[in-house]
Chains A and B, each alone.
Chain A
Amino acid sequence: MLNAVGLKKLYGNIKGVENVNFKVEKGEIVGFLGPNGAGKTTTMRLITGFLYPNEGDVIIEGYSILENPVLVRKFIGYLPESNPLYEDLKVSEYLEFRGRIKGLKGKNLKERMDYVVQRCEIEEVMKKLIGSCSKGFRQRIGIANSLINDPPLLILDEPTQGLDPAQIYHTRELIKSLSLDHTVILSTHILSEVEAICSRVLLIHKGNIHFDGSLDDMRAAFSGGTQLKISLLCPENKGVEMLSQIYNIVKFTVIPSGDEKICSFKVTSKESTNIREEIFWKCYENKIPLLEMSLIKRTLEEAFLKMVSEEREEMQ
């Protein structure tokens, strides 16, 4: 479907992105993840042909974007960052213009317009000026534009940026439903969005791709050792004393339990050790009743922060 080969983009002497290589297969929903300024938008602009790379090429459906720019752009529906629209056109005029410019006409144009209007639920604003539409509607108008010529590939740059929680939910549901018929690449700096929508994640940071794989792979790659939550029926100092004796625990922090008789801890173990068994036997030895022991699933958020901060340490 899409193959980005050795992309490099310089803005003057400043590096935008470098050595970006990735492939997207038909039917995937790929999330581009990275902090602001990481190079997500630059990469999206390169794969849509808005910018041309200093090095490398983008192949979509077998065609190079540098050699067949007009043809390749037919395969792409693009929602740019901040969703620019003509404020002084009516929604219907805008969609008609976008349909025509993408080569639709006559009956076909009308059918596609009806379809995207119904799909994106923008019927009620069709006669309104875009400038007077709410942000949620504007976002849906932008998505309707990207869909109008039924392109196989949708590229959405921060599709939920600046929306309220309900609008974010609706937009995500819409994108999810679109992914049944289209390959989707979206960018975001919000991890929960990737978790909610994507099947695969590309982590981009400082203009390079740092990770490419499934969500579970990413969690595993960045999670380090196991994390547990335990609760003990004993005073806090006794619990602290016991946990300090366990060699395989890297660190533990007290979780306030609100009950003097019970103390709770968040425990991080060394990698690949069976810490749960050790804790159990230690409690038995010390005659401390173990009330609760549960695994904490690391969120992507933590994995992401860990990666970015490791990078910072390396720099220093």
Chain B
Amino acid sequence: MSQIYAIVKKEMWQYFFSPVAYIVLSSFILINSFVFYVVLAAMSKSASPPLSPMALLFGGTFFFWLVLIVMIPVITMRLGAEERKLGTIETLLTSPVSDFEIVIGKFAAAFLFYLFAWLLTFVYVLILKAYGEVDLGSVFSGYIGVTLIGAFFVSIGIFATIISRNQIVAAVISFSIMALMVGMTFFTFILGSGKKEFFQNIDLLAMMENFSKGIIDSRNVIYLISGTILFLALAVKSLEARRWQ
């Protein structure tokens, strides 16, 4: 456990030493604030808006997915690829830690960074609350959705960076996997019934819509958690495999 803590702490030092952390955080806030503003402005024109502004922030616009599949590769790409490039992977893999602890440490660091970024959006909830009623239940489930989808995507990013030597390659691999995962939603339009149901169950857009409306569906939760575990397991195995190369 203390080894995982050591890795998380070190990754945090490195995040906040480089400009990457600040650029990612400010772009994230900039884009989300823009969306928040537009959503608020649009809704204030209608007498009875169909959705709460927070619901639109959580997956209601295409910006949500854009930010996710660009930001997560950026915050994960360095974690494994740079260790390989600098050669520090040699001191890391010869330390008394298991490959599992290394992967979990790296995952935890990126995931905490991601959660920190979303924590900043809580300001919007406070703003809304100051001017009117907010359904805290659906806000809460929205954050649950953001957390679970984030964990899934961060695990994809960790897997990509562990298998790459180059940060850009890692970013492109994770971006592509995430884009495909999000793109599964199209099969629900083009396929006939029978095959369609399968894709409805793994449709991330529909999942996020549920979360933002306050619905926590156990199928969605299980899908996202098992996806996270799958990619983390692949990352551990890839790390182990490099000792046999």
A46 to nearest B CB, angstroms?
10
Name which residue of chain A comes closest to B5, CB basis.
A100
Chain A residues contacting B90 (CB-CB under 8 Å) are 45, 50, 78, 80, 84
The answer to whether A103 touches B87 (Cβ under 8 A) is no
A179 contacts chain B at the CB level, 8 A cutoff: no
B88 at the A interface (CB under 8 A): yes
Of chain A, the residue at the smallest CB distance from B98 is A70
Contact between chains at A89 and B95 (CB < 8 Å): no
Please give, as numbers and ranges, the residues of chain A lying within 8 Å of B95 by CB-CB distance. 73, 98, 101-102
Q: Is A76 an interface residue (CB 8 A)?
A: yes
Q: Are B88 and A85 in contact, CB atoms less than 8 angstroms apart? A: yes
A87 within 8 A of B: yes
Contact A88 B17 (CB under 8 A): yes
Q: A11 in the interface, Cβ–Cβ < 8 Å?
A: yes
A280 near B: Cβ within 8 Å? no
Q: 1/0 per residue B210-245: CB within 8 Å of A? A: 000000000000000000000000000000000111
Q: How many residues of B contact A (CB 8 A)?
A: 27
The tally of residues in A whose CB lies under 8 Å from a CB in B reads 31
Known pairs A50-B90, A50-B243; A74 contacts B17 (CB<8 A): no
Q: Are A80 and B91 neighbours in the complex by a CB distance under 8 Å? A: yes
The answer to whether A103 and B3 touch across the interface, beta carbons within 8 angstroms, is yes
**Which A residues touch B14, using CB under 8 A?**
86, 88-89
Contact between B88 and A86, CB atoms less than 8 A apart: yes
Residues of A within 8 A of B244 (CB): 51-52
Q: How far is the CB of B14 from chain A (nearest CB, A)?
A: 6
Q: For chain A residues 50-81, which have a beta carbon within 8 Å of chain B?
A: 50-52, 69-71, 73-74, 76, 78, 80
Residue A27 interfacial (CB < 8 Å): no
Residue B6, interface by CB 8 Å: yes
Give CA–CA (A73, B90) in the complex, Å.
12
The answer to whether B96 has its CB under 8 Å from any CB of chain A is yes
- Chain B residues whose CB sits within 8 angstroms of the CB of A87 once the complex forms: 86
What separation, in Å, do the CA atoms of A102 and B10 have in the docked complex? 14
Q: Is the CB of A84 within 8 A of B86?
A: yes
Q: Which of A11, A49, A82 contacts B245 (CB 8 A)?
A: A11
CB distance from A156 to the nearest CB of B (A): 13
* Distance in Å: Cβ of A140 to nearest Cβ of chain B: 15
The B contact surface, by secondary structure, is helix
Bitwise, A126-167 to B at CB < 8 A (1) or not (0) is: 000000000000000000010000000000000000000000
- Given the interface pairs A11-B245, A84-B88, A86-B14, the reply to whether A78 lies near B94 with Cβ below 8 Å is yes
Do residues B96 and A89 form an inter-chain contact, with CB atoms below 8 A?
no
| Binary B-proximity of A1-16 (CB < 8 A = 1, otherwise 0) | 0000000000100000
B85 to chain A, nearest CB (A): 9
Q: Confirm or deny: B18 has a beta carbon within 8 angstroms of a beta carbon on chain A.
A: yes
Residue of B whose beta carbon sits closest to that of A90: B13
Q: Which residues of B contact A103 (CB under 8 A)?
A: 2-3, 96
Contact residues in B for A97 (Cβ distance below 8 Å): 6, 9-10, 13
**Pick from A69, A84, A89, A100: contact of B3, CB under 8 Å:** A100
Nearest CB on A from B243, distance (A): 5
Q: Are A100 and B9 in contact (CB under 8 A)?
A: yes
Chain A residues in 8 Å Cβ range of B98: 69-70
Q: For residue B17, which residues in chain A have a CB less than 8 angstroms away from its CB? A: 88-89
Residues of the B chain whose Cβ atoms lie less than 8 Å from the Cβ of A73: 94-96
**Complexed CA–CA distance, A268 and B14 (Å):** 62
How far, in Å, is B16 (CB) from chain A's closest CB? Answer: 10
- Check if B94 sits within 8 Å of A49, measured CB to CB: yes
**Most chain B beta carbons < 10 A, residue from A50, A71, A76, A105:** A50
Asked, given contacts A52-B243, A97-B9, A100-B3, whether A74 binds B96 with beta carbons under 8 Å apart, the answer is yes
Pairs across A and B, CB under 8 Å, 19 listed: A11-B245, A49-B243, A50-B94, A51-B243, A51-B245, A74-B96, A78-B91, A80-B90, A84-B88, A84-B90, A85-B86, A86-B10, A97-B10, A100-B5, A101-B6, A101-B7, A101-B92, A101-B96, A103-B3
Closest CB pairs A-B (n = 10): A84-B87, A100-B6, A97-B10, A80-B90, A73-B96, A74-B96, A101-B6, A84-B88, A48-B94, A52-B243
> Hey, which bits of chain A sit against chain B, CB under 8 A?
11, 45, 48-52, 69-71, 73-74, 76, 78, 80, 82, 84-89, 93, 97-98, 100-103, 105, 145
**Given known contacts A49-B93, A74-B96, A98-B91, what 12 new A-B pairs fall within 8 Å (CB)?**
A50-B90, A50-B243, A78-B90, A80-B90, A86-B14, A88-B14, A97-B10, A100-B2, A101-B7, A101-B92, A103-B2, A103-B96
Interface residue ranges, B against A (CB under 8 Å): 2-3, 5-7, 9-10, 13-14, 17-18, 86-98, 243-245
